[in-house]
Chains A and B, each alone.
Chain A
């Protein structure tokens, strides 16, 4: 079991690290799309696709970057009590409360899959002039939320391993 947990943590952390590091450069894609939008608007005909493309980019940016931000511990916590606890106590609490987070993400994933299936079935398009299909971005969201869940499990395993006195 311990061996499996080690492997899992290593595997998931590595995947989410790579995906997060890739998403990180998405800021330049976003800026590029928006700059093109301003240029085309000022000098030629405005592009139809830029606004929504930027929105899709933004969603992919934060959903796929989410697991990496959890890895780096940059999600704020309320540290009124938490801040003064010992590392062991923090890990004990996290090992239980992370299930709340996982429950939330689970329900979100359920809704996401439901909505994506709908988009596939009816070829749902966005009601704008460009009329892009919605299934690609929704699939990315499902994937990202799923990765978030995997990362939460990895965090839980890290806490358990630490509490057992294993070195990671």
Chain B
């Protein structure tokens, strides 16, 4: 668009364009954005704008779509111009482990941090000649330790999302930063005289020291102003508990999904899985989980119980009572009771080496119980630390929001700044945030998207993506990171720092100056500061920024005795959870996450109401039936998904869908669970009626068969069984004798024989690898209808199997990618030799030779090959998306087969480096995208020709087996059988 706009000019105009260019070129990067309107004022620019878009000149009161698009295009045209001014005056520091200077084709890596629900996870961002293309974890950072989750991986797509809001608007009309500043300063002057009466700020979780400092300064300037907080993902407030699962022998999760839905889940996963290998020193840990809806944490449990959310609380009470000396109320017969007894025994046997983890979205009471138990068990300081909150001026978000709404409703709010977030959509419906908002006179919204909230605000300011702006953030354990930008803002966007700085009266400060100034003042280092700053930015970690753990108070013993005898309401409950892929909807417009199968249900593109098989049977419901769920006069309609492992009489609804202004990807998908949420109990509706509407709603899942059909795809044993027969896995279905083959062995002499080992004992099924692969390999998104038709393109999929009792099934995950078989069945059947074997054992796909017979896929027993049935790669023609592409990976055209390449581009990169340095490729020098991002360290890639390599040592383990090896495909990717550590006293 931008090019055509520029291209379609008469010479006269083009001359003027040159002027514009020149002016831009002279401006320094960050200034340019502030000077956009300066430009606008200039005659050249106005002329240009008139010539191109008459509508703008005659700014109409209400834009229609065409005009709006035209204007968006105009802004795009201008962004196009930034390309001409590539100078970044601010020093950003390349990660020195990588080549210092930018060599074309050689990426640079920069440290920064991704914010998951307000808490930072350190990342290294891969940049190709100034264009960020891929995010990896930062090994130096305590929260990520080199790994990254699916959201971090996908956030790069959000950066380039063409649906991001791109211009400042006032009442829906294009406005400028200065216009905003001008009107705000007058408003604020007025407010200042009233000591800030009626001025309110609403932010999400803020852990940024700079932002906190700015807020505090603002509140000093405006004493009567208030700072409200609402983050839909904010956990039940109270203790800020940092866990150390690597030190825990016994872990009891009370409805907690600490491996995925916890701000510190990456570190949790790393610590937890470090004790899941049978050979691990200190022995395997044992995980007890009681939860209402199957989570990946529940899937990892050695002893899992599905119980209604409110029964979890009841169980916790019993637990606390019996741990407090009172014996557990008799050996009850139901699993729940047995489970409880076992837990009690185990906990007592592992005092100081156990930990109780309360659910993120469970009640205050449960958190109190958990804390008491941890204290009485002497776990505090060992397996769990209770520190002061990392959040700046922590408050209870729900209360804070309710207070704001109350004030708004009663006209006590005059000006509201919504800094990030989308409360109009995410606030529980009983608050009626939208209506109350309309009673505020002046409403300003800063957000990545022009969403439901900006629709109701006069001023909307596009927010910078974290890769576009300077900033700082603390991880869950308090470690601070200084975020550095990888690219100039693509659109006329602003960061929260700039807004607040403007409120403070300085609208010209760049985020860089703001953040740097804060740190300079907060820890004066004198002339050492520059060095300190460089190091901090470079490492992505601010040294000694972790706060001291708070002194653990003595157990606040004593629960209301009534609580134990309190009558639990019977009947259906509804549990509400953030969607495992799009969370509260903040990723609703991220196509990668929309198409990413939900870890346990394998659903894509929709949210559903999870119901246990037994309950579905009782209510006569089938998958895809649409039911209406009523609670306290509110109702929502949702399609049913029958989920084994779901607690009976408990329905789980997920947030993040039913958006109306999310963008082309996220709008009008699924249902909006906020409609029946209440601020009083946002995560649990204890009593609901449901009604079958009779209509059906098609859902797109990537896996239809949940049972293994006794095919030993995932091989598993308890630790005891494993000790009895360490070779049970390979012996389950042995590989045929090599001598049985008619043909002689194909000998190819080389130093390298690439292979991979995947440890099923540690894989937590978190999906990070799938998205990492998608980002690394330019894998297209195909959309719901294509997924439903079995055409999803993920090179790496995670198979999920249920085993055993359908009500209390064991859940298994198995990442499946190309096995790079030595006797690959796909190769001999290709009529044109498009898929062949490299000397180093890679099963290679020659895209531009492929004619698309699909015979290779038919003959692949693992069905890991993916076919471009239609022109998937170039469907969305938004030019900005092409910036996202990894330049080292071919983009596949229509009619071509594709599949996992073991990240051959990374192998070749390492080979080149090794050749330059005249040495062999070192073990661990090549990390495939999936391996690099895996928080569980479950995937290991390397040279199997070297017996000392890590992968060789893993393959040498007795539980190593090849999937479908009995077919004599000789897979190079092998699996380490899953070993569990269940309590022998409990029968599975």
| A and B are interacting partners | no
